[in-house]
């Protein structure tokens, strides 16, 4: 075992010990609850809970090769399985034995657990097996748990409390949110300092004007005093003047004092901003460090995933990982797990060829998938996932786009490679000849891009025929803060994530042209669609069209659109707050943030904005589409009446017209007399099975394009390949069957 594998094994074992503590605690709680003699329903639930805990602990122990724990859990699982079936009954001997078994499991779970008496393990397993057989007395003496002398610490507890403590991720997230609230203090300190600076500038202008006129006032006073008093009326007049001059002198002194105080406030503001900023940055930095995990915590599980999936596909694939020591926000890792699964499945199923095909193409028989993680400037990380497979066949992809009606045939030839690759990320686009539980639905890349962009990242696809495909993913290292542009739209303030802003430009009204009934703007020789952000957000602008305007060029999902805004107010750090009930999902809005002024500003969802802008300019949708599904007719071919009625009921519930056939021969007869839009067939049937039925359908020119879904219990690779060979469009294994899966596939095929 190399050093890296040894370190991974240690981390795995450490994680197991923490997990085992939780399982043992739950098993003990369940046993105590059962001893109280609960009502039947509660008793059944507790038995089921303890059964699952023992089963989970057994599987975890097997993963770290702790065979003694696995054996005891196997026996415990058997007892609770028998209790579930009411084959045995609870009793004192059973509880004593099970509690002692849990004690031994606890001893085995500490670092020196290997020192536990092997004979005691054998005795407890034997007595648990006696319980399962219905016996109520022990043949051998039960092993007593170790008694720890008073004052001697429990090693397991000592290690747990001295080294680490367990805290739920939910509580950690709550602490982080409270820490993030302090970010507003930093923004407010900045805003207060800016306000003081503005006030000092205003005062400086006023004081400059005052200083210019003050000498004139002093000269006027001197002349008044020299003239003296001539009569009583004039004396009263001079007395009033003296009061005015006295006020002017006092004001002059007060202005000097005010100037000094303002300067002191500014110095205090700078100190406050520095102290608050340092405190908040340090706090958030520490919180980031707690939440940061190395990529290895996610990626180290994928070599086995790739191995198992590639073997099932009859392929030989090696996964090479580098840069896994780089740390990133745990919340990003959680979201990226699904992304990696989809992308690796695509690479295995679509990218890497089978060994014999690779040898024909003068490649090594073993394919290679690489995941390379590297740090970037600006608190970002890049993940490059590449394979040395077949690449994407552009001609095949064009055919798919035309067949699905995504691209009109007359436009297909004008598409560039980059245009086509951008369309690949749309939901439902796949070049796979069959839909399986692995891939083929055209959802993998769509889901990956959606999740990546939701995290504030971007994904770029590059492919070369017969050489391979690569996906470059850019992500932020943390979700705590991001950079955003503060913009004014219809006298309201909004935040636009900087990562989605390609550029901000000032343009004149003459530069805006109308093409096919929509505004466009030409930048660097490229024509961009143009929309007013106020219109997209449903806001009413008070001012009409200006001679010049500010345009933000935003990018998302491979699309670029220009949005007209009133003004760009500046760029700043943004702490986004998610929306709460009932505003969990608001179109065009990703969340909100508190500005330094204390105002709340919505954070815009650029992906939604681009979709809204596209729909805003598009022609009205055809209402007939909503009713089209009701007209679709499906033939269900199944020899089992239960399965036949189940599938028929699912499809009819969702508006499809369904007819049934009992086997392949019956199906062929119905196909000759009626028109169907899709066939759902079992495989293992009398007279004519599903494979032969599919081949028969494909051999008839009349039905060559008729979609066929095979639903079967046969899940081997050979059976799936046979489904592909005979021309099936989808292959659903009954063991993983659910109505959502079926309806999703049906909806994509018709």
Domain ranges of the chain: 3-166, 178-291, 295-476, 482-617, 626-749
- CATH fold of 482-617 reads OB fold (Dihydrolipoamide Acetyltransferase, E2P) (2.40.50)
Alpha helix ranges (H) inside 654-727: 664-673, 690-699, 717-726
Q: Of the given ranges (6-10, 106-110, 569-573), which has the lowest mean pLDDT?
A: 6-10
Is pLDDT above 70 for 331? yes
Question: Taken in order 361, 365, 371, 372, is the CA torsion positive or negative?
Answer: negative
In sequence order, which residues have a C-beta less than 8 Å from that of residue 189 and are 6 or more positions away? 269, 272, 273, 276, 277
HEC assignment per residue over 366-396: CEEEEEEEEEECCCEEEEEEEECCCCCCHHH
- Going by pLDDT thresholds of 50, 70 and 90, the confidence category of residue 236 is very low
For tokens 């109505």, name the residue: 739
pLDDT in tens, 15-67: 788 878 888 888 988 888 888 788 888 888 888 888 888 888 887 787 777 88
- Going by pLDDT thresholds of 50, 70 and 90, the confidence category of residue 281 is confident
Task: Report the C-alpha gap between 321 and 303 in whole angstroms.
Answer: 9
Cα dihedral value 206, 207, 212, 214, nearest 10? 110
Q: Are 96 and 136 in contact (CB under 8 A)?
A: no
Q: What angle do CA 161, 165, 168 make, to 5 degrees?
A: 155
Hey, what are 393's tokens? 């066949």
Q: Are 454 and 748 in contact (CB under 8 A)?
A: no
pLDDT of residue 679: 94
pLDDT in tens, 136-185: 665 455 555 444 343 344 444 334 434 555 666 667 666 666 666 677 67
- B/e letters for 89-102, b = 16+ CB within 10 Å, e = fewer, are ebeebbeebbbbbb
Is pLDDT above 50 for 626? no
Phi, psi (degrees; rounded to nearest 5) at 564: -85, 125
Question: What separation, in Å, do the N-terminal and C-terminal C-alpha atoms of the chain show?
Answer: 53
pLDDT of residue 368: 93
For tokens 């004396």, name the residue: 235
Which conformational region is residue 284 in: left (phi greater than 0), alpha (psi within -120 to 50 degrees), or beta? Answer: alpha
- Going by pLDDT thresholds of 50, 70 and 90, the confidence category of residue 442 is very low
pLDDT in tens, 237-278: 455 666 777 788 788 788 888 888 888 888 888 887 787 778
Instruction: Note the CATH number of domain 3-166.
Output: 1.20.120.160
Mean per-residue pLDDT, 483-509: 87
Is pLDDT above 90 for 378? no
Hey, what are 242's tokens? 């003296």
Q: Are 217 and 245 in contact (CB under 8 A)?
A: yes
Instruction: Note the CATH number of domain 626-749.
Output: 3.40.50.2300
Hey, what are 747's tokens? 């909806």
Most confident stretch, 241-245, 380-384, 458-462: 380-384
- B/e letters for 171-186, b = 16+ CB within 10 Å, e = fewer, are eeeeebeebbeebbeb
Alpha helix ranges (H) inside 679-730: 690-699, 717-726
For tokens 């004593």, name the residue: 96
Across 184-341, the runs of DSSP E, i.e. the strands, are: 292-294, 317-322, 327-329
Q: Is there a common fold for 295-476 and 482-617?
A: no
Hey, what are 714's tokens? 């046969």
CATH architecture of the domain with range 295-476:
2-Layer Sandwich (3.30)
Q: How far is CA 358 from CA 143, 315, 365, 628, in A?
A: 60, 10, 6, 44
Looking from the CA of 311 toward its CB, the CA atoms found within 13 Å total 5
DSSP annotation string for 45-100 = HHHHHHHHHHHHHHHHHHHTT-HHHHHHHHHHHHHHHHHHTTSS---HHHHHHHHH
Hey, what are 435's tokens? 């839909």
**pTM, 2 dp:** 0.49
Most confident stretch, 233-237, 419-423, 493-497, 605-609: 493-497
Strand duo 292-294 + 317-322: pairing: unpaired
- Going by pLDDT thresholds of 50, 70 and 90, the confidence category of residue 404 is low
Helix (H, G, I), strand (E, B) or coil at 439: coil
Which among 624, 481, 601 is positioned nearest to 537, based on CA atoms? 601
Give the burial class of 738: count Cβ atoms within 10 A of its Cβ; 0-12 exposed, 13-18 middle, 19 or more buried. Answer: exposed
Q: What angle do CA 723, 726, 727 make, to 5 degrees?
A: 85
């Amino acid at each position: 075992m190399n050093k890296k594998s040894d370190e991974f094994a240690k981390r795995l074992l450490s994680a197991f010990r923490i997990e085992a503590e939780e399982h043992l605690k739950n098993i003990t709680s369940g046993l105590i609850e059962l001893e109280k003699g609960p009502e039947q329903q509660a008793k059944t639930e507790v038995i089921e809970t303890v059964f699952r805990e023992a089963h989970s602990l057994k599987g975890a122990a097997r993963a770290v090769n702790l065979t003694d724990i696995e054996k005891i859990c196997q026996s415990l699982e058997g007892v609770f399985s028998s209790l579930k079936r009411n084959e045995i009954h609870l009793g004192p001997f059973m509880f004593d034995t099970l509690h002692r078994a849990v004690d031994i499991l606890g001893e085995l779970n500490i670092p020196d657990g290997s020192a536990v008496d092997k004979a005691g393990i054998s005795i407890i397993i034997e007595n648990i097996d006696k319980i399962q057989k219905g016996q109520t007395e022990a043949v051998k003496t039960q092993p007593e748990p170790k008694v720890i002398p008073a004052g001697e610490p429990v090693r397991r507890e000592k290690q747990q409390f001295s080294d680490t403590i367990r805290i739920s991720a939910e509580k950690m997230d709550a602490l982080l949110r409270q820490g993030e609230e302090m970010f507003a203090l930093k923004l407010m300190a900045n805003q207060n300092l800016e306000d003081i600076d503005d006030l000092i500038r205003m005062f400086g202008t006023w004081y400059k004007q005052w200083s210019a006129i003050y000498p004139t006032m002093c000269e006027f006073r001197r002349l008044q005093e020299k003239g003296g008093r001539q009569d009583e009326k004039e004396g009263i007049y001079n007395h009033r003047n003296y009061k005015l001059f006295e006020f002017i002198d006092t004001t002059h002194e007060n202005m000097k004092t005010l100037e000094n105080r303002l300067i002191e406030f500014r110095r205090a503001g700078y100190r406050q901003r520095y102290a608050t900023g340092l405190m908040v940055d340090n706090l958030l930095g520490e919180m980031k460090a707690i939440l940061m995990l190395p990529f290895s915590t996610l990626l180290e599980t994928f070599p086995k995933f790739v191995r198992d999936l590639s073997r099932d596909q009859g392929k030989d694939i090696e996964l090479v990982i580098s840069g896994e020591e780089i740390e990133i926000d745990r919340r990003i890792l959680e979201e990226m797990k699904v992304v990696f699964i989809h992308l690796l499945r695509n690479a295995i199923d679509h990218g890497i060829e089978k060994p014999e095909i690779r040898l024909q193409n003068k490649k090594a028989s073993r394919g290679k998938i690489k995941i390379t993680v590297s740090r970037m400037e600006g608190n970002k990380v890049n993940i490059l996932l590449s394979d040395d497979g077949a690449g994407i066949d552009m001609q095949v992809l064009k055919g798919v786009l035309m067949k699905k009606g995504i691209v009109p045939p007359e436009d297909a030839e004008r598409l560039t490679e980059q245009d086509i690759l951008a369309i690949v990320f749309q939901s439902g686009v796949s070049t796979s000849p069959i839909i399986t539980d692995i891939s083929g639905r055209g959802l993998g890349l769509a889901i990956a891009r959606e999740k990546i962009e939701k995290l504030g990242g971007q994904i770029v696809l590059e492919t070369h025929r017969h050489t391979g495909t690569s996906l470059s993913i850019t992500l932020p290292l943390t979700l705590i803060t991001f950079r955003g542009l503060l913009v004014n739209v219809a006298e309201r303030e909004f935040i636009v994530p900087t990562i989605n802003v390609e550029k901000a430009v000032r343009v004149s009204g003459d530069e805006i042209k109308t093409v096919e009934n929509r505004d466009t703007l030409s930048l660097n020789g490229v024509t961009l669609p143009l929309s007013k952000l106020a219109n997209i957000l449903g806001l009413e602008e008070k001012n009409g069209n200006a001679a010049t305007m500010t345009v933000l060029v935003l990018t998302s999902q491979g699309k670029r659109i220009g949005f007209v805004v009133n003004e760009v107010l500046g760029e700043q750090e943004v702490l986004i707050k998610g929306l709460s009930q009932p505003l969990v999902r608001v179109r065009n809005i990703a969340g909100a943030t508190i500005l330094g002024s204390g105002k709340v500003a919505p954070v815009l969802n650029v992906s939604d904005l681009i979709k809204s802008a596209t729909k805003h300019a598009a022609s009205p949708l055809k209402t007939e589409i909503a009713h089209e599904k009701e007209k679709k007719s499906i033939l269900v071919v199944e020899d089992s009446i239960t399965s036949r009625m189940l599938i028929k009921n699912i499809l009819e519930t969702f508006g499809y017209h369904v007819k049934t056939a009992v086997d392949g021969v019956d199906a062929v007869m119905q196909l000759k007399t009626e028109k169907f839009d899709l066939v759902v067939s079992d495989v293992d049937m009398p007279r004519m099975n599903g494979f032969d039925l599919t081949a028969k359908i494909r051999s008839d020119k009349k039905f060559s394009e008729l979609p066929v879904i095979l639903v079967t219990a046969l899940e081997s690779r050979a059976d799936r390949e046979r489904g592909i060979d005979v021309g099936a469009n989808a292959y659903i294994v009954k063991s993983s069957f659910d109505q959502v899966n079926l309806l999703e596939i049906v909806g994509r095929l018709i």
